[in-house]
């Protein structure tokens, strides 16, 4: 008993002083962790990263476009379009004015906004006066312990975002000519579903190939990709893409003249200047990042043309595919040979990344861009993540505080949003659809209570107060016949449980 777990140990009432001292120790530990994370965030953004100067200029191959139109005089229509393209109720920057303020009082503030944007883009004035940013840390996990477990979101002033929004709108029309077809993010007329379907087809083909023709797929997710970009590398990329020098100076001023404050537990840290990275929240950042990542695509293309990299060929007349990109999510395809592994490691500095990361070999790719990569018959286990996300959203503590109308609205929004991307590229099994509809129906009926147990799944629904589904508390899943039974089937009429089934 003394060496057992917390359930087998006898219950002993501790003195009040012991409980108070233990609570004080926990509070002190949380305060130390909070302080370490706060200063770690500032230090992580101030440390510069040396750029890789050995990359050749492959943008010079692309011809047929002229970037001089990017520095044409700014019109009032451009500023108005950029202003109303912003979310009206998104979090404001340090000045406290959201976009709805400027949209509602456009007749009063529009002349000043247009003149300000023209002074920066047309006359080259610095944006340092409005380039202040609040950094908000959004946790990726339930209990974060390091800065890498946070997503850094920048809250910029609307006046600054107007400038970058105008530049981004102009740059968007040229992304299709600058970026290779392997990259589909922030490129007009290309969609995320394209890469998902192509990846699904390639993985399916890999498992149907004969033994002597084997290929490998490597999934790469760049950690803190935005925060690690070197400013000189960004400028060198713009030079390689033949962006006008005037626009280069404006973009460099936008990314380097920023003053940051971390919004930590309702209070601000001291202002500091970043030494690297671009901000998530700046309208220009996605386009700059895609252009910088395009260097990797150029290197892979050169290796394929030199026959050093052997890509995957699907179909007799199909294209050769070496990689797929969506922002910082990268899929690499090559022949399963030792020399190809060496080529991939050399091209992507993969050997160094493997020593510094938890790289694992696997026979499946798991999920790609939020969608399971399946190479066999579709079954319910492939979509457990979707069902779990719907269940967590519906059974969260906020659902308990909603009225009947609020619960119905929540159920409709969850069932329409969460599985929508997956349903665009593959058909969900009937039992998965039934399970999703059952969760939403239970939410609209406020079935957090068991009632008679006729509609509540014993193993898969969250019906025990304060507990997850019982299936997550056992080591071995029950048989399929028992797994789909309701709560009422496990109860006797006398009120006791049928322990033989359990």
More confidently predicted of 116 and 183? 116
Distance CA 94, CA 158 (A): 10
- Sign of the CA dihedral 168, 196, 154, 288? negative
For residues 149 and 356, the model is more confident at: 149
Identify the band that residue 428 occupies on the pLDDT scale cut at 50, 70 and 90: confident
Task: Give the model's pLDDT for residue 110.
Answer: 94
Residue 350 pLDDT grade (very low, low, confident, very high; cuts 50, 70, 90): low
CA max distance for the chain: 85
Whole-model pTM: value is 0.73
Compute the residue count for the chain: 502
Residue 163 reports pLDDT greater than 90: yes
pLDDT tens by residue, 256-295: 999 999 988 888 888 888 888 899 999 999 999 999 988 8
Distance from C-alpha of 438 to C-alpha of 430, rounded to nearest angstrom: 12
Determine contact, residues 162/97, Cβ cutoff 8 Å.
Answer: no
Which of the four pLDDT bands, split at 50, 70 and 90, describes residue 500? Answer: low
Whether residue 183 has pLDDT greater than 90: no
Q: What is d(CA 457, CA 434) in angstroms, rounded to the nearest whole number?
A: 12
Spatial separation of the C-alpha atoms in residues 345 and 36, rounded to whole Å? 34
Any bridge partners for residue 135, and if so which? Answer: 154, 262
Looking at residue 364, its pLDDT comes to 62
E strand or H helix at 259: strand 259-264
Q: Which two tokens stand for residue 153?
A: 């979101």
- Both tokens of 65, joined, read 């476009």
pLDDT digits (tens, 9 = 90+) for 90-140: 999 999 999 999 999 999 999 999 999 999 999 999 999 999 999 998 888
Which pLDDT value is given to residue 55?
A: 56
Q: What is the mean pLDDT of residues 68-96?
A: 92
Say what the pLDDT of residue 390 is. 82
pLDDT of residue 377: 77
Instruction: Say whether pLDDT at 348 is over 60.
Output: yes
Q: What pLDDT score was predicted for residue 7?
A: 30
Name the nearest CA neighbour of 348 among 49, 61, 52. 52
Quick one: pLDDT at residue 28?
47
Burial class (CB in 10 A: 0-12, 13-18, 19+), 230: middle
| Residue 10 confidence (pLDDT) | 31
Contact present, 171 and 70 (Cβ < 8 Å): yes
Give the three-state DSSP class for 169: helix
What is the C-alpha to C-alpha distance for residues 134 and 183, in angstroms, rounded to an integer? 30
Count the helices and strands in the chain (H runs, E runs): 17, 12
**For the chain, percent of residues with pLDDT exceeding 70:** 73
Return the bridge partners of 154, or none. 135
How confident is the model over 301-332, as pLDDT tens digits? 888 888 888 898 877 777 889 899 988 888 89
Confidence (pLDDT) at 445: 61
Residue 359, pLDDT score: 52
* pLDDT winner (highest mean) among 71-85, 217-231, 437-451, 469-483: 71-85
208-253 pLDDT, tens digit each:
777 667 888 888 877 778 888 889 989 988 988 888 999 999 999 9
Q: Place 501 in a pLDDT band, splitting at 50, 70 and 90.
A: low
Q: Which residue has the tokens 């399963």?
A: 336
Whether residue 6 contacts residue 15, with contact meaning beta carbons closer than 8 Å, is answered with: no
For residue 74, which of 247, 237, 242, 289 has the smallest C-alpha distance? 247
pLDDT of residue 415: 74
Highest mean pLDDT among 16-25, 287-296, 391-400, 417-426: 287-296
Average pLDDT over the chain reads 77
pLDDT for the residue 107 = 92
The helix/strand/coil state of 333 is strand
Alpha helices in 154-211 (DSSP H): 158-172, 175-178, 192-208
Question: Mean of the pLDDT values across residues 148-165?
Answer: 92
In 349-495, which residue ranges form alpha helices assigned H by DSSP? 350-356, 384-394, 404-417, 420-425, 430-444, 480-483
Count of beta carbons in the 10 Å neighbourhood of residue 384? 13
Collapsed DSSP state (helix, strand, coil) of residue 79: helix
pLDDT of residue 190: 81
Average pLDDT over residues 181-203: 85
Q: What is the pLDDT of residues 358-387, one digit of tens each?
A: 455 555 667 888 888 877 777 778 888 888
């Amino acid at each position: 008993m003394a060496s057992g777990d917390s359930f087998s140990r006898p219950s002993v009432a501790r003195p009040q002083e012991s409980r108070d001292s233990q609570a004080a120790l926990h509070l002190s530990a949380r305060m130390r962790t909070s302080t370490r994370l706060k200063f770690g965030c500032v230090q992580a953004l101030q440390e510069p990263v040396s750029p890789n100067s050995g990359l050749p200029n492959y943008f010079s191959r692309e011809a047929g476009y002229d970037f001089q139109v990017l520095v044409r005089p700014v019109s009032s229509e451009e500023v108005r379009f950029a202003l109303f393209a912003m979310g009206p109720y998104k979090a404001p920057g340090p000045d406290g004015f959201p976009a709805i303020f400027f949209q509602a009082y456009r007749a009063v503030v529009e002349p000043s906004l247009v003149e300000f944007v023209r002074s920066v883009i047309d006359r080259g004035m610095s944006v340092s006066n409005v380039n202040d940013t609040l950094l908000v840390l959004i946790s990726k996990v339930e209990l974060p312990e390091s800065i890498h477990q946070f997503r850094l979101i920048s809250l910029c002033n609307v006046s600054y975002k107007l400038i970058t929004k105008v530049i981004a709108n102009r740059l968007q029309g040229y992304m299709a000519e600058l970026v290779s077809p392997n990259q589909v993010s922030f490129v007009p007329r290309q969609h995320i579903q394209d890469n998902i379907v192509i990846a699904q087809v390639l993985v399916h083909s890999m498992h149907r190939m004969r033994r002597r023709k084997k290929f490998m797929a490597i999934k790469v997710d760049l950690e803190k990709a935005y925060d690690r970009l070197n400013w000189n590398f960004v400028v060198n990329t713009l030079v390689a893409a033949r962006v006008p020098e005037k626009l280069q100076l404006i973009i460099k001023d936008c990314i380097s003249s920023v003053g940051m404050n971390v919004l930590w537990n309702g209070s601000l840290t001291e202002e500091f200047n970043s030494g690297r990275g671009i901000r998530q929240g700046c309208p220009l950042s996605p386009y700059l990042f895609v252009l910088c990542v395009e260097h990797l695509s150029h290197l892979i293309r050169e290796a394929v043309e030199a026959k050093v990299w052997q890509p995957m060929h699907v179909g007799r007349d199909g294209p050769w595919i070496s990689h797929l990109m969506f922002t910082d999510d990268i899929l690499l395809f090559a022949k399963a040979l030792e020399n190809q592994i060496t080529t991939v490691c050399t091209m992507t500095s993969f050997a160094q990344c493997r020593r510094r990361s938890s790289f694992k070999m696997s026979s499946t790719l798991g999920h790609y861009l939020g969608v399971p990569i399946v190479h066999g018959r579709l079954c319910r286990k492939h979509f457990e993540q979707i069902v779990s996300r719907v269940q967590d959203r519906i059974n969260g503590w906020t659902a308990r505080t909603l009225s009947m109308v609020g619960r119905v609205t929540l159920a409709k929004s969850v069932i329409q949003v969460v599985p929508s991307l997956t349903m665009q590229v593959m058909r969900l099994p009937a039992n998965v659809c039934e399970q999703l509809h059952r969760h939403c129906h239970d939410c609209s009926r406020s079935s957090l209570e068991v009632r008679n147990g006729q509609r509540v799944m014993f193993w898969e629904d969250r019906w025990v107060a304060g507990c997850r589904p019982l299936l997550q508390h056992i080591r071995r899943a029950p048989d399929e016949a028992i797994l789909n039974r309701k709560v009422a089937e496990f109860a006797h009429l006398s009120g006791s449980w049928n322990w033989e089934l359990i």
